[in-house]
Amino acid sequence: MLSRISRKTPSLRRLLATHASAIEKDCTSITPPYVSLIHKLEQVRNVLNRPLTLAEKILYSHIIEPEALTVNSGKIRGEAYLQLRPERVAMQDASAQYVLVLLSQ
């Protein structure tokens, strides 16, 4: 059947698909501040003097004051509370959003 169609129409073109021109979007409001995140992570690395796991890199790059870690002399796990400022928080359902609203008051 396909061979019959291709014989009758020598050039098949895509008639429904159209080319959309690339529109430049302003992504400055949704782009994380990578420079400050990397700077904070370097400060934490200097205090801890050890390789960091992926979870530690994510958490420590969002810490508010990396200089405060020197008070605990690098003892963070299980011994210190972290003050974090995350850029985004992903929640699965409305109940998580409700709890977040209650805790933020």
Residue 61: which of 27, 32, 29 has the closest Cα? 32
Which pair of tokens denotes residue 69?
Answer: 């870690």
Domains in the chain: boundaries: 34-88
**Other CB atoms within 10 A of residue 44 CB:** 20
What's the start-to-end Cα distance of the chain, in Å? 68
The model's pLDDT over 54-71, given as tens digits with 9 standing for 90+, comes to 988 988 888 888 877 766
What is d(CA 60, CA 36) in angstroms, rounded to the nearest whole number? 12
Whether residue 103 is predicted with pLDDT greater than 70 in this model: the reply is yes
How many of the other CB atoms lie within 10 Å of CB of 97? 12
pTM for the structure as a whole: 0.55
List the Cα angle 83/63/93 in 5-degree steps.
Answer: 70
Q: What is the pLDDT of residue 54?
A: 93
Query: How deeply is 71 buried, as exposed, middle or buried, from its count of CB atoms within 10 A (0-12, 13-18, 19+)?
Result: exposed
